[in-house]
Amino acid sequence: MKKTSLLVKGMLLFNLLVLILTVGDFLALHDISKDYISSERLEALGISASLPAWTAAEGEWQIVTISFIARFLFLGLNILLLWTLLKKEKAEQ
């Protein structure tokens, strides 16, 4: 029972982390939409100019990538937790 309690507490903390990262995703993608322009789009408009480095929005893309990895881990751990709890429940019956 103590092991299950530890898993539930860990999942609760990870849920909070993913919730915070979701807000970070929104903010990062909102900022990207304001700053990002591709060189392909400029070529399509007939503009030949080099873009400043800040238009790459590297920090924002890093936030989105970290959030994706955290969500992937979160879903995997949730599946593992639910699977373990289901097996434990069946064994107790």
Give yes or no for a contact between 77 and 8, defined as CB atoms under 8 angstroms apart: no
pTM (whole model) above 0.85: no
User: Residue 42 is encoded by which pair of tokens?
Assistant: 């400029």
Query: How high is the pLDDT of residue 4?
Result: 66
Query: How high is the pLDDT of residue 2?
Result: 67
Query: How high is the pLDDT of residue 26?
Result: 86
CA distance from start to end of the chain: 15
Query: How high is the pLDDT of residue 79?
Result: 79
Structural domain boundaries of the chain? 2-92
Query: How high is the pLDDT of residue 85?
Result: 79
Query: How high is the pLDDT of residue 1?
Result: 56
Query: How high is the pLDDT of residue 20?
Result: 86
What residues in the chain have per-residue pLDDT under 70?
Answer: 1-4, 35, 38
Query: How high is the pLDDT of residue 10?
Result: 78
How many angstroms separate the CA atoms of 30 and 35, rounded?
Answer: 9
The residue whose two tokens read 């929104």 is 26
